[in-house]
Amino acid sequence: MSSFSQRIIDWQKKYGRHDLPWQTKLNQAPDPYAIWVSEIMLQQT
């Protein structure tokens, strides 16, 4: 991986949004309703 790509990934891990409905934490099952609502909302924009 290029150094630029790695810097972007590192930045996302440190400063990026980590509370999005479709992102799950370790040992946590995804919430189908939250994913569905986020998909509908994203289609409206």
CA quadruple 5, 8, 13, 16: dihedral, nearest 10? -150
Q: Residue 29's pLDDT is what?
A: 84
3-state secondary structure of 30: coil
Q: Residue 14's pLDDT is what?
A: 92
Residues 1-45 pLDDT 10s = 689 999 999 999 899 888 777 777 778 888 888 889 888 988 886
Global confidence as pTM? 0.48
Answer whether 13's CB lies under 8 Å from 23's CB.
no
Answer whether 20's CB lies under 8 Å from 38's CB.
yes
Among all residues, which ones are annotated catalytic? 39
Q: From residue 19, how far is each of 6, 24, 30, 39 by CA, in Å? A: 22, 8, 12, 15
Residue 20 identity:
L
